Amino acid sequence: MVKTERKVVMITGASGGLGRGIAIACAAQGWSVWLAARRESAGNNVAAEITQQGGVAQFVRCDAGVQESVETALATVLDAEGRLDGLVHNATSGLSPRPGAVSDLSLSDFRDHVTVSLRGSFLLARAAFEPLKRSQGALVLLSSEAGFEGKARLPAYATVKAAQRGFARSLAREWGGAGIRVNCVAPLAATEAMEDAFRRDPDMEERVLGRHPMRRLGDSVTDIGPAVCFLLSQDSRYITGHTLMVDGGSCPVT
C-alpha cells in the first residue's frame, strides 16, 4: 500500500495485543494514532514505543461500553486534531479467552461480551458518524472467524462477533450515501488473549493449527495491521460492507 496523506485514526483496545499491532502498522503509514483503552499505563507504553520508532501516537482513556467515556474520548481526539479519518473497534471482553459451554455461561459474563463488542460498536458508530462524514472516512470492526463458523467452547464470543458483522453490513448500507465505508476484519493472530485461551483449553492449539494451511498464527503488526490499514485507506475506497478474512486460510467458511 502506497503511503497516503496523514490520517487521524483512533483504535480501541490498543493497549496491547492485536490493537497494539494495528496501531504500530497505522503509525508506520505516517498517520496520527490515538490509542483508546482502559489501561492507561499499558496504553502510554505502546504510545511511547511508537514514538520511539518515529511515529505519532497518544493515549486516550476509553471504555468502549460506556457512552460518556466513548463521547469524551472522541471529543479529546477532535479537539486535538480537528478531524477523525478512521476508527477501529478492536476491544473485546476480557472474558473472551475463557472456554466453556453455554450451560456454564452466566448472564453477567454474556452481558460483558455484549457490552464491549456490540454496545461498544453501537456507541462508537453513533458518536463518530459526523466526524467520519466530514472526512469521508472509514470504520473497521474487528470480528473473528468464530463469527462465521461458531465455536462450541466460546459461544458468547462467537455470537457477538457474528453480530458485529451484521451491524457492519447494515451501517455500510446506511452510511454509503454519506461517503463513509464500514468493513470488518476477521483475524487469527498470536496475542496474549490467544495464548491465554490455549492455556485454558489444552486441545485448542491443535484444533486451531491442525487445520491451518500455513501452520502458524498471524503477526499482529506485519500480518493483521496492514490489512486494517488497507481498509482505512483510499486504496479500498470502493469496498464497504465486507469482512476481510486475515487468518491464513484457517476458516473454511467465507
Beta bridge partners of 181: 138
Find all residues with CB under 8 Å of 58, minimum gap 6, and list them: 32, 33, 34, 35, 47, 80
Give the predicted TM-score (pTM) of the model: 0.92
Active-site residue, from 31, 34, 157, 167: 157
456507541: which residue's cell? Answer: 123
Among 51-65, 121-135, 170-184, 215-229, the range scoring the smallest mean pLDDT is 215-229
What is the tens place of the pLDDT at every residue in 126-183?
Answer: 999 999 999 999 999 999 988 888 888 889 999 999 999 999 999 999 999 999 999 9
pLDDT of 225-239, one tens digit each? 999 999 999 999 999
> What is the chain's percent helix, strand, coil content, to nearest 5?
50, 15, 35
Cα–Cα distance between 13 and 39 in angstroms, integer? Answer: 9
Q: Please tell me the predicted confidence (pLDDT) of residue 162.
A: 96
Q: Is 157 a catalytic site residue?
A: yes
**213 pLDDT tier (thresholds 50, 70, 90):** confident
- DSSP type of residue 16: S
